Chain A
Amino acid sequence: MRTQNATAYRFLTPYLLIFAVFWIWPIISSFLISFQATRTVPWRFAPAFNWGRLIGDPAFYNALKNTLLILVIQVPVMIALAIVMAVLLNSPLLKARGLYRFAFFAPVVVGEVAYSAVFRLMFSLDFGIVNKLLNSIGLPKVDWFSNVTPAMALIMIAVTWRWAGYNAIIILAGLQSIPEDVYEAATLDRVSKVKQFFHITLPLLKPVIVFCAVLSIIGTMQLFTEPFLITERGGPGGGTETLGLLLYRQGFRSLNFGYASAVAYTMAGLAIAITLVQLWLMREPK
């Protein structure tokens, strides 16, 4: 290839322009805003104003705790479920594959608002279908919205329902790129299917699983719509408030952009840190 600066940049400029204005500049800008006192006009530079407040703010620790709790429980459960879905959907023994694929993949196209509304209705205390079904098999009703533990469980159930199939699609693509002859050789050596799964499939899927985990962590770190709509602004009493919701309240209800930017950078820092740890834990053995 020859060097073709002019031609290349003619193709690149429109994208780079948007990219710089709506992505690169805001990344820098929000870092700068986090060091400013923004509650009075004009804003003034006050390095410890927001970060100092963040370190002592119980609302921040509550949101952080809830976000990490969801992260630690929901992401592993969902990834495990997605692996199971993908492996079983890939089985040559499966009949009516299209129907099963539809069942697991359909939530991928459902918008956050639509499914939040359905989950809210399905889990309502007296008239929700879930409590009616629990009752009909002799179990007690669960008050999903007034107690913290069931409310958190509900958020995790909802997110898992929405995203497990998405991850299963990615993992299934990874499975299908594993060459068939690896398994044929193992079968000839009389290695059991279960052993094949743990000693061949999982190690070969590692990069794909790490990718899914990283995507899910970044997504869950910013969780907003589900606690906003399903548990009604992070209820009961802040019991499901996440960092995403705290950012929304501070930035767009109180219009305190400086503090909200500090929260946003905390989310980014955590996402990057967890991603790096993950990549380090899953590194190739030398």
Chain B
Amino acid sequence: MTSRSQARLGRSILLHLFLTPLALVWLFPLWMMVVFSTMPDNGIFSPGIELLPHDGFIDNFNNLQRDTNFVGAIGISVSVAVTYTVLSVLLTSMAGWALARYEFHGKGAVVAIIFGTITLPYAVVLIPQFIMVARDFALANTWIALIVPPLFNSLGVLFMRQAFSMMPAELFDAARVEGVKEWRIFLFVALPLARPMLAALAIILFLASWNNYLWPLLINSQPGAMTAPVALGTLIGLTKVSWGGIMAGAVMLTVPMLIVFVLLQRHFIAGIAAGAVK
């Protein structure tokens, strides 16, 4: 072995010696979430160190369902996230298409306003949104309240604008010459070409809706209207509550997303990275 390749091997070993413990520390909370979700409460609150799963998940799930209607809440969360994702992808890609492909009066102003307000903290709009939806529209504890206000998503518009403006103009001009209508060009030429970007956007939007906590906590606080994270959050801090059950709920919120993440990692990473690399 040459000294060069020996040095390479040495560096490689160092790299793994550093990164492996760090990776294990990073995985530890997720692993413990699974372990806790399978342990009875008297096991979680016992002096011993338990690092391996038991077989109590079903019992914990039943305890959780006794504490709050978690299955119902999951149903609301899934329906809201799916509806929100479809609507948001449609709205943001239509807007992105217009900004990327047409010249029109006020274009500069629209782009400036979207860019200019992108770094404002969400907290600024929270109170007026709440007053408007709860008092003026009287829509608290409805699906509309969960789905419509978060649709303003600016990053999605900029992301789709970027995607459409990178496509060669000839593609669309050829269709126009043949007299194809603009909305048909958008639906049947542009959208299919943007499929990878749409997938990335859809995954990010679905995840954002699925995990959204503050807005649903404020606007849908009645038991039958809560999303799953809100329902689970109400149990944290109560005294007579099953912690194994809370962990079973946490697993049900997290593990499906982890599976989606593993299966669609490429789109996931593209969606997150796209915010930065312009």
Contacts A3-B105, A11-B186, A173-B277; A264 near B127 (Cβ below 8 A): yes
Which residues of B have CB within 8 Å of A222?
121-123
B257 proximal to A (CB < 8 A): yes
Quick check: B273 and A117 within 8 Å, CB to CB?
A: no
Q: Is the CB of A91 within 8 A of B151?
A: no
**How many angstroms from the CA of A127 to the CA of B244 in the assembled complex?**
14
Q: List 24 A-B contacts (CB under 8 A).
A: A1-B102, A15-B95, A21-B132, A23-B152, A26-B126, A27-B120, A88-B18, A105-B268, A106-B26, A109-B207, A109-B254, A111-B211, A113-B250, A113-B253, A116-B233, A118-B250, A121-B32, A126-B45, A161-B26, A170-B272, A218-B119, A222-B123, A251-B127, A271-B119
The complex places the Cα of A118 from the Cα of B29 at a distance, in Å, of: 7
Docked-complex contact B132 and A115, CB < 8 angstroms = no
Q: Which of B27, B121, B207, B249 has the most CB of A within 10 A?
A: B121
A251 to B126, CA, bound (A): 9
Q: B183 — which chain A residues lie within 8 A by C-beta?
A: 10
**Contact B120 A4, beta carbon cutoff 8 Å:** no
Given A33-B127, A170-B272, does the pair A114, B47 have CB atoms closer than 8 Å?
Answer: no
**Are B94 and A11 neighbours in the complex by a CB distance under 8 Å?**
yes
A1 B101 Cβ-Cβ under 8 A: yes
- In the complex, are the beta carbons of B102 and A7 less than 8 A apart? yes
Contact stretch, chosen from A56-64, A129-137, A146-154: A129-137
Taking the complex as formed, is A211 at the interface, i.e. its CB lies under 8 A from any CB of chain B? Answer: yes
Min CB gap A31→B, angstroms: 8
CA distance A129 to B39 in the complex (A): 14
**Chain B contacts for A85, CB-based, 8 A:** 22
Instruction: Give the number of residues in A that approach B within 8 Å (Cβ atoms).
Output: 99
Contacts of A10 in B (CB 8 A): 183
Q: Verify B15–A93 contact, CB threshold 8 A.
A: yes
A18 CB contact (under 8 Å) in B11, B117, B152, B260 = B152
A119 at interface by CB-CB < 8 Å: yes
Complex: how many Å from CA A36 to CA B82? Answer: 39
B213 in the interface (beta carbon within 8 A): yes
A126 partner residues in chain B, CB cutoff 8 A: 45, 47
B36 CB within 8 Å of chain A: yes
- Complex: A105 Cα to B27 Cα, angstroms: 10
Interface digits, B28-46 against A, CB 8 Å rule (1 contact, 0 not)?
0110110010000000111
Which of B33, B121, B276 is in CB contact (< 8 Å) with A170? Answer: B276
Q: Flag if B19 contacts A4 (CB, 8 Å).
A: no
Interface positions of A (Cβ within 8 A of B) = 1-5, 7-12, 14-16, 18-19, 21-27, 29-30, 33, 85, 88, 91, 93-95, 99-122, 126-127, 129, 132-133, 136, 161, 165-166, 169-170, 172-174, 177, 208, 211-212, 214-215, 218, 221-222, 224-225, 229, 232, 243-244, 247-248, 251-252, 257, 260-261, 264-265, 267-268, 271-272, 275
If the complex has contacts A103-B26, A170-B273, are A225 and B213 also in contact, measured as CB distance less than 8 A? yes
- Given the known interface contacts A22-B125, A222-B121, A271-B119, the answer about A118 and B232 at a Cβ–Cβ threshold of 8 Å is no
User: Is B197 an interface residue, CB under 8 A from the partner?
Assistant: no
Q: How far is the CA of A173 from the CA of B98 in the complex (A)?
A: 28
Chain B's interface size range is 35 or more
Q: Does B184 touch A at the CB level, under 8 Å?
A: no
With A1-B103, A118-B250 in contact, do A100 and B119 touch (Cβ < 8 Å)?
A: no
Contact mask B198-211 → A, CB, 8 Å, 1/0? 00000000010011
Q: How far is the CB of A18 from chain B (nearest CB, A)?
A: 5
A215 surroundings in chain B (CB, below 8 A) = 275
CA distance A21 to B233 in the complex (A): 29
B163 proximity list for chain A (CB < 8 A): none
Contacts A14-B94, A109-B258, A169-B273 given; indicate if A267 touches B124 (C-beta within 8 A): yes
In Å, the complex CA distance between A127 and B243 comes to: 12
Residue B60 at the chain A interface, CB threshold 8 Å: no
**Residues of B with C-beta under 8 A to A264:** 121, 123-124, 126-127
Contacts of B214 in A (CB 8 A): 224-225, 248
In the complex with contacts A15-B157, A169-B272, A111-B213 CB distance below 8 A:
yes
